[in-house]
Amino acid sequence: MMEQVMLASVLACAFAAAGCRLARPNLPIGPDPLDVVAQPASRPASKSRIVATLCEVVVADGPGATSVKGRPIRSWVYGKGERTVLILGGIHGDEPASPTLCEALRDHLAEHPDIVDGRRVVVVPSLNPDGLAAGTRVNARKVDLNRNFDTANRKARRRYGAKPLSEPESRFIADLIEQYAPAAIIAVHQPLVCVDYDGPAEELAAAMSRACGLPVKKLGASSGSLGSYAGVDLNIPIVTLELPQRVSRWGKAALWKHYGGAMIEAVRLTGVE
């Protein structure tokens, strides 16, 4: 009898551990070998390896998913739907509320997988981990990643990079867009206190504005920016959620309370043709 009880306890612990691994929102730095899936031989080695499974944490690694200083740029992929919304945070390292809000969304999706039903959500909380660690807008090579895209309006300036997509962080974003062909992109920034948009995203911007109270403002597509690249050149709806400067030190709970509704609207509307 005692042996049966002990066996039941061991099995219960094993199943509980397996269940936790699927939904865990917080991972240690560095890819877990169980999460990394080998890329098919047909895909170029320079591309980021991202494999989507329903509500499972997936690690993106490789040349396109490592910062200049070797820090991992992590992505979390939820759902298997054909329409993808790409959520991007932390492209500027001196905008700390951006990755925090994206992490809050990541955690919320892990706890409420029904939200992604019929769609796919790709969340990248921190695109510029070197800048975040240093508290700087630019990356470790002093390049503004949001001016480093291959756009028709790009200007040749030192802080915009030696050439388009010269930085591993911006190449990673371009790889994501190529792989997933997202139906919409949401980029979280600070500190302009508005909902900006590029491309055919006016309705999405208005819905997000209603959900969080920030006004819609058309700021215009900057030279070499993600808005110019995705919204203007590729005609992908892209919304830039500009949080206030005053929320920089807010935690996940406070940011989610005020702006989580806008993030959920972005996910919800992505499933609408």
Peptide bond preceding 99 in cis form (omega within 30 of 0): no
User: Is 25 a domain residue?
Assistant: no
**pLDDT at position 19 over 70:** no
Question: Is residue 182 one of the residues assigned to a domain?
Answer: yes
Q: What percent of the chain has pLDDT over 90?
A: 70
Residue 157's contacts (CB-CB under 8 Å, 6 or more residues apart) are 147
Coil, strand or helix: which one is 70? coil
Structure tokens belonging to residue 164 = 């388009």
pLDDT score, position 270: 85
Q: Which of 2-11, 126-135, 196-205 has the lowest mean pLDDT?
A: 2-11
Say if 19 falls within a structural domain.
no
242 is catalytic: yes
State yes or no: pLDDT of 24 exceeds 90: no
- Find the farthest-apart pair of alpha carbons in the chain and give their distance in angstroms, rounded: 77
Who has greater pLDDT, 34 or 209?
209
Share the mean pLDDT of the chain: 82
Q: Please indicate, yes or no, if residue 266 is contained in any of the structural domains.
A: yes
> Domain range spanning residue 99?
47-270
Other Cβ atoms less than 10 A from the Cβ of 235: the count is 11
Indicate whether 234 belongs to any domain: yes
Query: Is position 156 within any domain?
Result: yes
Catalytic residue among 103, 167, 169, 242: 242
Give the three-state DSSP class for 66.
Answer: strand
Q: Find residue 88's DSSP bridge partners.
A: 124, 187
What residues have CB less than 8 Å from 272, skipping those under 6 apart? none
Low-confidence winner among 20-24, 71-75, 242-246 (lowest mean pLDDT): 20-24
Cα–Cα distance measured from residue 243 to residue 257, given in angstroms and rounded to the nearest whole number = 13
This prediction has a pTM of: 0.78
* 6 is a domain residue: no
pLDDT band, residue 65 (cuts 50/70/90): confident
pLDDT band, residue 273 (cuts 50/70/90): low
Q: What was the pLDDT predicted at 53?
A: 39
pLDDT classification of 18: cutoffs 50, 70, 90: very low
Per-residue pLDDT averaged across 66-92, rounded? 94
Whole-angstrom Cα distance, residue 123 to residue 86?
6
Q: Is 192 in a helix, a strand, or coil?
A: strand
- What pLDDT band is residue 164 in, cutting at 50, 70 and 90? very high
> Considering its fold, how many domains does the chain have in total?
1
pLDDT of residue 55: 42
Residue 200 in contact with residue 235, Cβ under 8 Å?
Answer: yes
pLDDT class of 181 with cuts at 50, 70, 90: very high
What average pLDDT score do residues 228-240 get? Answer: 98
What length is written for the chain? 273
Going by pLDDT thresholds of 50, 70 and 90, the confidence category of residue 196 is very high
Asked if the structure places residue 22 within a domain, the reply is: no
Place of tokens 């099995």: 11
Cα separation values, 208 from 21, 90, 111, 202, 229, Å: 32, 19, 22, 10, 22
Read off the CATH number of the domain in which 198 is found: 3.40.630.10
Q: What is the mean pLDDT of residues 137-154?
A: 97
Gap between the Cα atoms of 269 and 273, Å rounded: 9
pLDDT level of residue 193 (50, 70, 90 thresholds): very high
Nearest to 195 by CA among 242, 228, 258: 242
Confidence (pLDDT) at 174:
96
Mean pLDDT of all residues in 244-265 = 98
Residue 109 is encoded by which pair of tokens?
Answer: 């999706």
Q: Rounded to whole angstroms, how far apart are CA atoms 62 and 72?
A: 9
